[in-house]
Amino acid sequence: MRHGRWFGVVVLVVAMVTGCAAQPVPTGAELYAQAKGHYLAYRAIATDILTAVYDGEWEVGDYGALPDSCRDGRGYEFYFTRYLRSPDPALRLERYEAAAAAITAAGLDASISPTDDPDAIWVIIARGNGISRLVFDSTPHGGGFHLNITTDCHPGNNRALKAEMFEETGIGDRTPYFPKTERPDAEPLFLFPLDAPRYPDPTPTP
C-alpha cells in the first residue's frame, strides 16, 4: 500500500510540473506569422475607430508595426499613435461620440469621460481583445484628436522579430520605412524588403 501511495504522489507531481511547463517561445517564420496575426488583429480595431472619426489622412506618431520589448523584458508589444488636427471644432462632439461607439462595438472594456464641459479634455480609456491600453482623447478649441494603443505582451524576442521583418540589417533608425501620414483604410505594413518605399521627414519650410 505504501509503495502504491508514493507512486500516485509521483505521478501527480509530474503531471503538475508538466502542466506548468513554459510554452516554447516562437522563432523564425513562426514568430513572424504569429506576430503578423496579432498586428493585423489590433490594426483592424484601430482602423474601425479612426474611420468612424475621420476617413481622411491622420498624422502618424508611432506607426504601430515596430515591436518593442515588454516592460518585464519577456516578449514584445506594439505601440500605435495617430493624430488629427480638427479644422472644425463644431464636429468635436460628433467625432468623439463616433469614437466611443466604435470602441464599444469592438468589444473593449471602456471608461468614457462625459462631454458636458466643452473646455475639458475628453478621454476614453479602454482595454481588451489583445489591447492592454487604449487612449482616445479630444482637446478643446480645435486641438484635435489623438489615438494611442499598446497591445498585450506576446511571447518572442522583439529583436529577432525585427530581423524577420526588415531585410536591411545593422540599422538603428527604421522610421524612414513608415509613412508620416496615413488614411485609416491604408494597407498595414509588416514586411520591409530592401526595395520597400522610404518616407523621409519633410523638409522644413525656410
Domains and CATH numbers, the chain: 26-182 (3.30.2030)
pLDDT confidence of residue 8: 46
The confidence score (pLDDT) of residue 94 equals 95
Here the cell at position 169 is 540589417
Q: How far is CA 90 from the centre of its chain?
A: 30
Under the banding of pLDDT at 50, 70 and 90, the label for residue 86 is: confident
Sign of CA dihedral 159, 165, 168, 171: negative
Ranges 12-26, 38-52, 93-107, 176-190: which has the least confidence: 12-26
Nearest-angstrom CA–CA distance, 184 and 46: 8
- State how beta strands 181-182 and 144-151 pair: unpaired
Q: pLDDT class for 202, splitting at 50, 70, 90?
A: low
pLDDT confidence band for 141 (50 / 70 / 90): confident
Report CA 149 to chain centroid distance, whole Å: 5
Distance in angstroms (rounded) separating the CA atoms of residues 185 and 189: 12
3-state DSSP call for residue 59?
strand
Name the pLDDT band for 47 (thresholds 50, 70, 90). very high
| Span 88-105, average pLDDT | 95
Whole-angstrom Cα distance, residue 29 to residue 197?
A: 23
DSSP character for 186?
A: S
Report the pLDDT averaged over residues 122-142. Answer: 97
Residue 204 φ then ψ, to 5°: -60, 140
Express the helix, strand and coil content of the chain in percent, nearest 5 each.
35, 20, 40
Segment holding 147, helix H or strand E: strand 144-151
C-alpha cell at 193: 524588403
